[in-house]
A and B are shown apart, each in its own frame.
Chain A
Amino acid sequence: MRAVGRWLGERWITIGSPLTVLVLWEWASATGLLRAVFFPRPSTIAGHLRDLAMDGTLWGHVATTLVRIGWSFSLAAILGVAIGLAMGLWRRLREGLDPVFAVIYPIPSVLFLPLVSFLVPPGEIALVVTTAVTSFFLIAFTTTHGVRQIDRLVVEAARHYGARGWRLFAAVLLPGALPFIFTGLRLGLGFALIVVVAVEIVSASRGLGALLWLSWQVLKVEDMYATFFVIALLGALLSYGLAALRARLLPWVPDAGDR
């Protein structure tokens, strides 16, 4: 009981701030300060969310989106970490790829959909690849930086004590870059969710983005907000999940226990 009390004592702002927003919103919609047609009361939205969950509609869309994120994120993570590490280790490769990445990276991800559709079969594969693009760059950038920022003195000491070649990589360079790789993965996962929803709005008939867009088009505003909420919750869960994983896997990072 005391542990719960202390937990609440430390996090009351974190928990209290979204609650306050919800209470204010409820009050504003109920009194007519906000037009309930566009801003239905949160309690009404919750009812619709329950209905969507009960009749199974929601779960199908959630599963579709999660599977897409899973594929996209895996693709971005594997390629991003591998290429990021290679760029961190070899200056020539870094100098060659940096300008290419600098040009492609700022392009809004959704715009890759038509381009990707020329290269791979349109449909599910094009959607997954498009979603992976921005995440890939984020993960590759942070991984490269992760290798580059390793204390040279630590590397020198490791060499002095006999670490060479593969051993130097596996025991020194990779663990040294890992905190940054995790940051990249967390950013990449967040962006995978953002982009997958955008791509689903543009081009899919299933998935949370599609559900959101459909609800808006037929003016089921409550369903639209319910979908919003599910997407936000999903993003928070994925992000915190990865942060918890990081704290478990990297016990040597001083701030890893903060979250």
Chain B
Amino acid sequence: MALDRISLQAHAGEFLCIVGPSGSGKSTLLRVLAGLHRQSAGDVHIQADRPGTPLTAMVFQEHALLPWRTVRDNVTFGLENRGVGRAEREARAREMLAMVGLARFAQHYPHQLSGGMKQRVGIARALANDPEVLLMDEPLAALDAQTRTIMQEELLRIWATLGKTVVYVTHSLEEALLLGDRVVLLTARPGRVSQIYPVDLGRPRALEVRASPAYGALLEKIWSRLREEVVRAMEADRGVDPEAIGG
């Protein structure tokens, strides 16, 4: 069992971050929300005011673009499957590619792009579908540290522009505090909600927030709790005595 008795509510327009040790079922939770994985029990409710648009759209960790489609055709893929007309699809793709800064790369193929650019396409593809909830599964985990920092700023900007509800899974507490309105901490497997922390660091937020004392205090507070879970997960995984891991 990956998850156990999860009860969670995201507010409209909220940026909700989910952190937890490896194997706590963060990704499974997201896959349940996306309809990619059928939960054994329980329900997912998403309030939808606009018929015809999908409930969720996922940004995958390994981007998962279709290699045989150009950047533009990857972005329009979901719209195409829903029967949206060509003119509207292309207008939509132009808009989203401009938003993620890839307007000039519409006719490129994914293999011609860098990792960060591919993930921008993944984000544009999800946004083009105009979902009620945007799901992001460690979207920046595969990128190098510098690209990741740039992408975090980009995400803040895009979210501020569109005001989407986002559920964002990450293993980086720093990232969660930079991006999120609230941070949900999951326990080691089976994942349960351990604690939900509001991130009162103000908006709009930028990288400079990391220098503030409030940020440091919150990071310390959540980390001490997360650390326990990480150690517990390691112990469960390998049968290691937690006392033996320094600390």
Interfacial residues, chain A to chain B (CB-CB below 8 A): 151, 153-154, 156-164, 167, 171-172, 175-176, 178, 250-254
Contact = CB atoms under 8 A, between A and B. Distances in A.
24 contacts: A153-B62, A154-B66, A154-B67, A157-B58, A157-B60, A157-B64, A158-B77, A159-B36, A160-B34, A160-B35, A160-B57, A161-B77, A161-B81, A162-B54, A162-B81, A163-B81, A164-B81, A171-B66, A176-B68, A250-B68, A251-B109, A252-B68, A252-B110, A253-B111
Contacts of A162: 54, 78, 81-82
Contact of A161 (B57, B67, B68, B110): B57
A118 to B, nearest CB: 44
Given A161-B125, A163-B77, A156 B111 contact: no
Contacts of A176: 67-68
Given A161-B125, A161-B129, A251-B109, A172 B36 contact: no
**Range of interface residues on B (Cβ < 8 Å):** 20 to 34
Contacts of B60: 153, 157
Nearest to B60: A157
A164 B81 CA distance: 8
A38 B60 CA distance: 66
Given A161-B78, A163-B77, A151 B68 contact: no
A178 B66 CA distance: 13
- Interface majority SS (helix, strand, loop, mixed), chain B: loop
Interface of B: 34-36, 54, 57-58, 60, 62, 64-69, 77-78, 81-82, 109-111, 125, 129
Nearest to B73: A171
Given A153-B62, A161-B57, A252 B67 contact: yes
A167 to B, nearest CB: 6
Query: Which are the 3 A-B pairs with shortest beta-carbon distances?
Result: A162-B81, A157-B64, A161-B78
Indicate the member of A154, A156, A157, A250 with the most B CB atoms within 10 Å: A157
A151 B109 contact: no
A172 B66 contact: yes
B209 to A, nearest CB: 32
A156 B109 CA distance: 20
Given A160-B36, A178-B68, 10 more contacts: A154-B66, A156-B64, A158-B66, A160-B58, A161-B57, A161-B77, A161-B78, A163-B81, A252-B68, A253-B111
Contacts of A154: 64-67
Given A161-B129, A175-B68, A254 B111 contact: yes
A216 to B, nearest CB: 48
Contacts of B65: 154, 157
A157 B74 CA distance: 11
Contacts of B77: 158, 161, 163, 171
B54 to A, nearest CB: 7
Contacts of A167: 81
A239 B25 CA distance: 50
Nearest to B83: A162
A151 B110 CA distance: 14
A162 B109 CA distance: 21
A254 B109 CA distance: 9
Nearest to B112: A254
Contacts of A159: 36
Nearest to A175: B68
Contacts of B64: 151, 153-154, 156-157
Contacts of A250: 68
Nearest to B78: A161
Nearest to A162: B81
Contacts of B109: 251-252
Nearest to A153: B64
A172 B81 CA distance: 12
Contacts of A153: 60, 62, 64
